[in-house]
Amino acid sequence: MPEVQSSTQSDGQVTQRFIEFVMVQAQQAAFCLGKIPHPATGETAVNLEAARVFIDHLELIREKTRGNLSKEEDTILNKVLAELQMTFVQVSGDSTESAEISDSPEVPVEADSEGKGTDHEGDSKKKFSKSYGG
């Protein structure tokens, strides 16, 4: 049977480590958004899919820790997420990449007997779409 390891760290140390974790994730997202240059080359590059992964990870952390964070931790996490999401929207709008980014796979559309388009999922299912814009 697994044992539960009790923490010997103070609440202040745990808070500091959590904030450091959030900031490392935020730096990785900013790097992928082209806001931080590569340390070796000094060049910036945009990788929206990788940035989206880091932002989604921070959203997951926020959801799974809801109600368990200190006021300081909650404020920093929410502020970092809001800034990253706004930057993501700005960068994705400024991007000159030819590939279009989609949150959900395309659903094939067929014409029904009246010539109107219908999808295979039916109208009763809610389609998921994520927006960082608000």
Rounded mean pLDDT of the chain? 78
Position 130 in a domain: no
One-letter amino acid at 83 equals: E
Position 115 in a domain: no
pLDDT digits (tens, 9 = 90+) for 116-127: 444 444 444 444
Position 6 in a domain: no
Given this model, what pLDDT does residue 9 score? Answer: 73
Give mean pLDDT, residues 22-46: 95
The dihedral formed by the CA atoms of 42, 45, 48 and 49, expressed in degrees to the nearest 10: -90
- Whole-number percent of the chain with pLDDT over 70: 64
Position 132 in a domain: no
Q: What are phi and psi of 109, to 5 degrees?
A: -115, 135
Provide the domain limits for residue 20. 12-92
Position 88 in a domain: yes
Task: With H, G, I as helix, E, B as strand and everything else as coil, classify residue 131.
Answer: coil
Confidence of residue 72 (pLDDT cuts 50, 70, 90): very high
Position 122 in a domain: no
Residue whose tokens read 């994520």: 130
Q: How many domains does the chain have?
A: 1
Position 38 in a domain: yes
Tokens representing 32?
């992928």
In this predicted structure, the answer to whether residue 96 has a pLDDT above a threshold of 70 is: no
Position 3 in a domain: no
| DSSP, res 46 | B
